[in-house]
A and B are shown apart, each in its own frame.
Chain A
């Protein structure tokens, strides 16, 4: 696959603050890419640099090989779905979707109809944004951008404004929409579950830098930094060794010799429906969580147990 968007050592410094620091990033044509990081890590600034709302202090952004860092947003074939959707409140759904069409070459004759049908907005076409539900507004924001067939579509935490029940459903719809259109999506989020479930590849960002890039499996199973490991999911630490709770087992007696094992005392046992979280403390003092099947006999606070795991499940990550 061809690289469609490249960030080459891009920096954005604000007074007294390096929002984005020597960032390298390559997006491949047609992939669903998530930029994942905590709030304040610089992911939104990165998006604004790509969209053209900010100019980089240093470095170069290339779109299909062309340097675009100095181009205005209206000169870039990149579109954005804003966190707040930013629909024009004085225009109908149709006028919102048609807004950009007159500026971008000659879109296919039935581009509007196709997009409206794809996003199921047919019966809402003459409404104003204020008359739409949150989910419908999001679909209008998507339609308005997708109808222009951008090289890259930027999505700035577009699910955060939806209610939690709708959020999971929309994840699947977005992924499906990306596959059908073949447009490269760059999705910004701080929710690791969103990133893991939707992306073809993802990057974990922290303090203006990318910590790791890879497929969800790669990054979850082989995190290259402690930050990436803990941001993608809970992790138990014994010195430089990390073990995920779901790799940790609990046994009343020491298991065989070919596994790692640690004596511990149960502090709590929490029933979560699909599984049970056993909270324990090692004799050396570290807290430890094991996620065990609910079919296992219940452990009680105070029980002396042995925590064990396969050596292949260990991650060796020295603290930074």
Chain B
């Protein structure tokens, strides 16, 4: 029996070791190397890259990225909760609404982000309409700023919030909501005292599923933020491409990973259950 179980486990273990842990180990080695004059890297061994990660300039980018991810995640929660609640009580229409939530996944994320650029830019749909309606004279600065990045992140990751919330809310027995009302609770009190506590595992899963990819997001900040709003994903990408500083890029990557892991462990310890 145990032999059979090991056999089932073997493919995924092999893949994880080969394609995840090994590159991670290589990345860790890189962080202690020195960048070469024309790209590449080599001796001498150094701690310089890790010291640079702690530089206020880069710490500032990290803080800004955490804030952008946190704001986006909270907005996803605020928008996603009512939506998930609505879908979970929609009876036979549930599947239709769920289908609509995941419908954006049918096209590539890149194309959808470009679509936002067409909407938001100075000569885009929104500004054209506003100007032709005489509401504004000059186009509004909708693109290439912090707000556009948050908008793009919320748009992109909202389904990852809605789905776990839906799963948790759908499991709440509707008798419990009736019981709460029966005992005298106004719908808002039912929401606060019954629905929210019982959906907490879904909220936690949604927060994690949205926050982590938002923190490491590269595409959205790069396309919608322009050059101005540099976030940590863009920083890492720059190190590996234009700056050709692989050792430092590796150090920032691992620092980001460590930060996320610490966060998850704190969350897991507080709730005494698994990470999700």
Q: Which A residues contact B (CB, under 8 angstroms)?
A: 51-53, 72-74, 78-80, 82, 84, 86-90, 99-100, 102-104, 144-145, 148
Cα A74 to Cα B184 in complex, Å, equals: 4
Mark out the residues of chain B between 135 and 184 whose CB falls within 8 Å of any chain A CB in the assembled complex: 173, 175-176, 178-184
Chain A residues whose C-beta falls within 8 Å of the C-beta of B185 in the assembled complex: 74, 99-100, 103
Stretch at the interface among B66-74, B191-199, B209-217, B249-257: B191-199
In the complex, the answer to whether A104 meets B173 with C-beta atoms within 8 Å is no
Interface of B is mostly: helix
Q: Which 7 A-B pairs have the closest CB atoms?
A: A103-B184, A100-B183, A86-B175, A86-B179, A73-B181, A100-B184, A90-B197
Q: Which A residues are CB-close (under 8 A) to B175?
A: 82, 84, 86
Q: Pick the residue among B173, B182, B194, B197 that contacts A74 (CB under 8 A).
A: B182
B178 & A86 in contact (Cβ 8 Å cutoff): yes
**Measured between alpha carbons, how far is A263 from B194 in the docked complex, in Å?**
66
Say whether B228 faces chain A, with CB atoms less than 8 Å apart. no
Size category of the binding interface on chain B: 10 to 19
**A89–B176 alpha-carbon span in the complex (Å):** 9
- For this complex, 25 residue pairs linking A to B, each with C-beta atoms less than 8 Å apart, are A51-B178, A52-B181, A52-B182, A73-B181, A73-B182, A74-B181, A74-B184, A78-B182, A80-B178, A80-B182, A82-B178, A82-B179, A86-B173, A86-B178, A86-B179, A88-B176, A88-B180, A90-B197, A99-B183, A99-B193, A100-B182, A100-B184, A100-B185, A144-B183, A148-B183
B181: chain A residues within 8 A (beta carbon): 52-53, 72-74
Neighbouring A residues of B89 by C-beta, 8 Å: none
Indicate the member of B175, B183, B198 with the most A CB atoms within 10 Å. Answer: B183
Residue B52 at the chain A interface, CB threshold 8 Å: no
A94 to chain B, nearest CB (A): 14
B271 in the interface, Cβ–Cβ < 8 Å? no
- A80-B184 Cα distance, complex, nearest whole Å: 11
Q: Which chain A residues border B176 with CB–CB below 8 Å?
A: 86, 88-89
B178 touches A53 (CB 8 A): yes
Interface-central residue, B173, B176, B178, B179, by most chain A CB under 10 Å: B179
Say which residue of A87, A90, A145 sits within 8 Å of B198 (CB atoms). Answer: A90
Report which of A51, A73, A88 forms a contact with B194, defined as CB distance below 8 A. A88
Complex formed: what's the CA distance from A284 to B173 in Å? 55
The listed residue (B178, B197, B198) touching A73 by CB distance below 8 A is B178
**Residues of chain A with a CB closer than 8 A to B179's CB:** 80, 82, 86-88
Question: Once bound together, how far apart are the Cα atoms of A74 and B179, in whole Å?
Answer: 10
CA distance A305 to B179 in the complex (A): 58
A89 to B195 Cα, complex, angstroms:
11
Look across to chain B and name the residue whose beta carbon is closest to the beta carbon of A144.
Answer: B183
Asked, given contacts A82-B179, A84-B173, A86-B176, whether A74 binds B198 with beta carbons under 8 Å apart, the answer is: no
Inside 8 A of A72's CB, which chain B residues have their CB?
A: 181
